[in-house]
Structure 1
Amino acid sequence: MENLEIVTLVNTVIVPICLFFIMMGMGLTLVTDDFKRVLKYPKAVGIGLTNQLLLLPVIGFALANIMPLEPEYAVGVMLLALCPGGTTSNLFTYLAKGDVALSVTMTAIASIITVFSIPIVLSLSLIHFMGEGSEFQLPILKTVITLILLTIIPISIGMLVKRFAPTFADNSQRYVSRFGVIFLSFLVLFLCYVQRSTIVEAFFATGPVSLLLNLSTMALGYYTSKWFGLNLAQRTSVTLEVGLQNSTLSIFMALSLFANYKMSITPAIYTLIMFLTAGILVRVFSAKYHKRQKIEIENGVLASRQL
Structure 2
Amino acid sequence: MESGPLISIGLPLSLFIIMVGIGMTLTLRDFHQVTVNPRGMVVGTIAQIMLMPLVALGLAWMLGLAPAIAVGLVIIAACPGGTTSNLFVLLARGNVALSILLTVTASLITILTLPFFTNYALQLHFGSGAEISLPVGKTIVMLVGVVLLPVALGMIVRTRAPALAIRAEKLVSLFGGLVLAVLILGLLYGIRDRIGELAAQAGLAALLLNVGGIVVGIVTSRLAGLSQRESLSVAMELGIKNGTIALMVTLTLLESSEMSIPAAVYGVLMFPIGFLLVSYGRKVVSRVPAAQADVA
Q: Is TM more than 0.5 here?
A: yes
Residue 44 of structure 1 and its aligned partner are, at CA, apart by: 1.3
1:212 to 199, 208, 211: 208
Percent of residue pairs bearing the same amino acid type? 35
Residue 252 of structure 1 and its aligned partner are, at CA, apart by: 0.8
Asked if structure 1 preserves the Cα contact closer than 8 Å seen for 2:74 and 2:121, the reply is yes
The yes-or-no answer on 1:203 pairing with 2:199 is: yes
CA distance in 1, matches of 2:171, 2:31: 23
1:36 to 29, 32, 36: 32
Asked if structure 2 preserves the Cα contact closer than 8 Å seen for 1:37 and 1:105, the reply is no
Aligned to 2:63: 67
Q: 1:152-231 counterparts in 2 under 5 A?
A: 152-231=148-227
Matched position secondary structure for 1:26: helix
Look up the equivalent residue of 1:119 and give its one-letter code.
P
Aligned to 1:247: 243
Aligned to 2:264: 268
Matched position secondary structure for 1:230: coil
Normalised by the length of structure 2, the TM-score is 0.94
Residue 225 of structure 1 and its aligned partner are, at CA, apart by: 1.6
Asked if structure 2 preserves the Cα contact closer than 8 Å seen for 1:90 and 1:103, the reply is yes
CA RMSD across the alignment: 1.7
The yes-or-no answer on 1:27 pairing with 2:23 is: yes
Structure 1 stretches of 4+ with a deviation exceeding 4 A read none
The yes-or-no answer on 1:49 pairing with 2:26 is: no
Look up the equivalent residue of 1:265 and give its one-letter code.
I
Structure 2 unpaired stretches of 5+? none
Matched position secondary structure for 2:94: coil
CA distance in 2, matches of 1:135, 1:105: 37
Matched position secondary structure for 1:198: helix
Residue 169 of structure 1 and its aligned partner are, at CA, apart by: 0.4
Segment of structure 1 superposing worse, 115-124 or 85-94? 115-124
Q: CA-to-partner distance for each residue in 1:165-184, whole Å, 9 max, x for gaps?
A: 11100111022112212221
Asked if structure 2 preserves the Cα contact closer than 8 Å seen for 1:221 and 1:239, the reply is yes
Q: 1:53-132 counterparts in 2 under 5 A?
A: 53-132=49-128
Asked if structure 1 preserves the Cα contact closer than 8 Å seen for 2:80 and 2:103, the reply is yes
Q: 1:139-154 counterparts in 2 under 5 A?
A: 139-154=135-150
Count of aligned positions:
291
Whose radius of gyration is greater, 1 or 2?
Answer: 1
Matched position secondary structure for 2:241: coil
Q: CA-to-partner distance for each residue in 1:213-269, whole Å, 9 max, x for gaps?
A: 111110111122222332221111011011111111001100000111001110000
Q: CA-to-partner distance for each residue in 1:67-114, whole Å, 9 max, x for gaps?
A: 121111011011111111110111111111111100011111111111
Residue 37 of structure 1 and its aligned partner are, at CA, apart by: 3.1
CA distance in 1, matches of 2:29, 2:282: 27
Residue 161 of structure 1 and its aligned partner are, at CA, apart by: 0.7
CA distance in 2, matches of 1:293, 1:199: 47
Asked if structure 2 preserves the Cα contact closer than 8 Å seen for 1:27 and 1:158, the reply is yes
Q: CA-to-partner distance for each residue in 1:107-151, whole Å, 9 max, x for gaps?
A: 111111110121122222211112222221222111110110111
Look up the equivalent residue of 2:183 and give its one-letter code.
L
Asked if structure 1 preserves the Cα contact closer than 8 Å seen for 2:60 and 2:205, the reply is yes
Normalised by the length of structure 1, the TM-score is 0.90
